[in-house]
Chain A
Amino acid sequence: MMKGDIVTLAGSTNSTTGSVLLTGQFSQQGITTLVIPQGMKLKIYRFTASGNAITSQLLFTPNINTTTPTWYPLDQISMTSAGDDIHEYKSRPIIVYGELGTEAITVQYTQASVGGTLISLITELTDKNEEEE
């Protein structure tokens, strides 16, 4: 079974609300939704916000191909003042499975002041059948 590359996907906020444009070390351009290919799973080890006060949600949809995807929350960061908030899933990462190839995640945010917050995810895209350690 294939082990994946650990990839940090990160992007800065540039509005009072929106989806974070995530870029990683393999990215030629940023993305707002990361689709999990069929037969793979996405492991999320860390969800971090750093900078101005923000409420940010890590969201999952089972079907990105619909006109209006339904998003379900996986985790939320709420920072009432400037600083850092690190959600690290040390015992077990958050796992999103690519059963149909339509599953996707996104990171949305709202904040009072415009921009100034870096959001990052530490991720690994691996074979769906890879056994967890």
Chain B
Amino acid sequence: MEIEPGSLLIVGLPSYGTLLPFKVVDVTNMPYDEINYSPLPITTSTSLGYFTPTVPPGAPLAAPYNGVLVPMSYTSSPIMFPLQNAFDPSDMFYFESPNNKLMVVEIYTHPKFLRVMPEIPAGNIVASYENTIFNVGGSLVVNVGNFTGYASTGFKRGYSLVVQLPKIHYGYLIGNDTSQTVVTSGTIRYYDLRVSAPSSSEVLDAFKGRNRNVNFISVPMPTVNTIVSNVLDNYYGTTGIPFAAVNSSQINTFIKALSNKIGGVE
């Protein structure tokens, strides 16, 4: 992925049924930064869940070593990425200001077969099928209709992409559904963006396919959440343009609210 100054970033919020378009004014860490994060922040106290109906006999309830996942296990509580001297040293991606800051965060895991599930905010599990059909809640083991087994929905292998909104702690579940005890590591690529409200014509052009310099990123967030709602209200003055009505009127209403908060491009 490449995000360039002058491009549009359209953030999808499926649980809200809305889109948040932003104009990328600057990528402050251009071209972008890569951090080799090794091992992944799984400590010996990180509690483990299992991709099996019950905990396998003899299997540990917490990671046995830093960065190590035993066979068929996942971090049952969301992990964050600590970094000394960050705004919040327990979560390197957390920020509160400036208001016009956004981050796009890509995480590549090693080995690539590791499963990754972002939780936005931390604890808001994604594992569900079409959200309303079933939601596995705190357990990844499901028994629905003809399907019995562990839920792989919500988990991708080897890669995660999120737009980091301000004032929200994101969490990550990391899983290993192989028979190997693996030492984990990752590569983080992030874009530290400064954004503004785009013009309505830019947004319409993006949806009409006339503007190719657009990145659409849907935020994997299955349910409306109070923390997220507060951030959208406080930082952007709106929850976005409804999916059902991407038209000039809705876009103008959104842009007016957004530009009042973070400034705009007219």
Residues of A within 8 A of B (CB): 2-5, 7, 24, 26-29, 31, 33-40, 64, 101, 104, 125, 127
Bound CA–CA A41/B18 (angstroms): 37
Task: Give chain B interface residues in 172-194, CB to chain A under 8 Å.
Answer: 177-184
> Do B179 and A4 touch (CB < 8 A)?
no
Bound CA–CA A15/B159 (angstroms): 41
> Do B157 and A2 touch (CB < 8 A)?
yes
Does chain A have a CB within 8 A of B129?
no
> Do A125 and B178 touch (CB < 8 A)?
yes
Tally A-B pairs: CB < 8 A.
61
> Do A28 and B157 touch (CB < 8 A)?
no
Report the nearest B residue to A40, measured CB to CB.
B113
Bound CA–CA A33/B179 (angstroms): 7
A120–chain B nearest beta-carbon distance, Å: 16
Q: Which residues of A contact B71 (CB under 8 A)?
A: 35
Does chain A have a CB within 8 A of B65?
yes
> Do A35 and B111 touch (CB < 8 A)?
no
> Do A26 and B177 touch (CB < 8 A)?
no
> Do A35 and B178 touch (CB < 8 A)?
yes
Report the nearest A residue to B182, measured CB to CB.
A26
Report the nearest B residue to A1, measured CB to CB.
B157
Report the nearest B residue to A22, measured CB to CB.
B180
Per a CB cutoff under 8 Å, which of A2, A5, A27, A31 touches B183?
A: A27
Q: How many residues of B contact A (CB 8 A)?
A: 21
> Do B179 and A28 touch (CB < 8 A)?
no
Bound CA–CA A29/B71 (angstroms): 11
> Do A37 and B68 touch (CB < 8 A)?
no
Starting from the known contacts A5-B113, A101-B177, 20 additional A-B residue pairs (CB-CB under 8 Å) come to A2-B113, A3-B112, A4-B113, A5-B112, A26-B180, A26-B182, A27-B182, A28-B65, A28-B183, A31-B181, A35-B71, A36-B178, A37-B113, A37-B177, A38-B149, A38-B177, A39-B152, A40-B113, A101-B149, A125-B113
Bound CA–CA A104/B157 (angstroms): 20
B65–chain A nearest beta-carbon distance, Å: 7
Q: Which residues of B contact A7 (CB under 8 A)?
A: 111
> Do B178 and A5 touch (CB < 8 A)?
no
Bound CA–CA A3/B159 (angstroms): 11
Known: A5-B110, A38-B152, A40-B113. A24 touches B180 (CB 8 A): yes
Bound CA–CA A64/B71 (angstroms): 14
Q: Which residues of A contact B180 (CB under 8 A)?
A: 24, 26-27, 31, 34
Bound CA–CA A24/B183 (angstroms): 10
Bound CA–CA A113/B159 (angstroms): 46
Bound CA–CA A104/B71 (angstroms): 14
- Binary CB contact string for chain B from 150 to 167 against chain A (1 if under 8 A, 0 otherwise): 001000011100000000
Bound CA–CA A127/B159 (angstroms): 13
Bound CA–CA A64/B152 (angstroms): 20
Q: Which residues of B contact A2 (CB under 8 A)?
A: 112-113, 157-159
